Structure 1
C-alpha cells in the first residue's frame, strides 16, 4: 500500500501547529497576557483603528467573545472605543498610547520567538510554505471541490 502523502502532510501540519501554538501561547503568557488579548492588541497595533467586526475576523474570535476581550483591554487602558458618526451601530476600536507602549515593548520580543521557530527554514521555503498553506486553505473553503 502506498503512503498517503495528503494524510501525512495533514498530520505533520497539525502536530507542527500544536507545537508552535503552545510555544507562542507560553511566550505571550510570559508577558502577562492571554492569547486573545495579545491578538486584539496586535491587530490594532499593526492595522490601526478597526471595527469590532474587523477585529473579530482578523483574530478569529467570535463577536460575542471579542466584546469581553475588548472590555478587559479598555479597562486596563490599552484601547478605546469611538462611535462612527455615519452609522451608530458601528463602533471603532483603537489602541491607546499606553497600549502602543506595551506593544512597543513586547512585540519585538515576541517576533524574535517567532523568528526562532522558523530559524531552520529558508526565506524561499517560507514563501513556498505560505503559498502551500494558502492553497490548502482555499481548497478547504471550496469544500475540496
Structure 2
C-alpha cells in the first residue's frame, strides 16, 4: 500500500497540536488562570478595547461562554465594561491597569515557553509551516 502523505500530515498535525496545547495550558495554569481567561486578557493587552463579539472572534469562544469568563475577570479587577454611548447594545471590554500589570509580568514568560517549543526550528522552516497551514486552513 502506498504511503498517504495527506493522512500522515494530518495525524502528525493533530498529535503535535494536542501536545502543544497541553504544554501551553500547563503554562497558563501556572499563573492561576484558565486558557479562556488568558486568551481574553491577551487579546485586550495587545489589541486594546474590544467588543464582546470582537473578543469572541479573536479567541474562538462563543459569545455565550465568553460572558461568563468576562464576568470572572471583571470581578478580579482585570478588565472592565464600558457601554457605547451611540449604541447601548454595544459593550466595550478593556483591560484595567491591574490587568495590564499582570500581563506585563506573565506574557514575556508565556512567550518564552512558546519560543522554546520552536527551538531548533529554522526561521525558514517556520515560514513554510505557516504558509502550509494557511493553505490547508483556507481549503478546509
| Alpha-carbon distance between aligned partners in 2 of 1:44 and 1:124, rounded to the nearest angstrom | 30
* TM-score, normalised with respect to structure 1: 0.95
Number of the residue aligned with 1:126 = 126
CA-CA distance at 1:86 after TM superposition: 1.4
TM-score w.r.t. length of structure 2: 0.99
Give the CA deviation at 1:70: 0.2
* Aligned equivalent of 2:52: 52
Q: Deviations over 1:67-123 (max 9, x none)?
A: 000000000000000011111111000000000000000000000000000002111
1:94 — aligned with what? 94
How far apart are the structure 2 equivalents of 1:132 and 1:48? Answer: 30
CA distance in 2, matches of 1:120, 1:59: 28
Aligned residues: 140
- Counterparts of 1:132 and 1:94, CA distance in 2: 34
Matching residue of 1:66: 66
CA RMSD, aligned part only? 0.5
The gaps in structure 2 that reach 5 residues or longer are none
Equivalence map 1:1-145=2 (5 Å)? 1-140=1-140
Structure 1 runs (4+) greater than 6 angstroms displaced: none
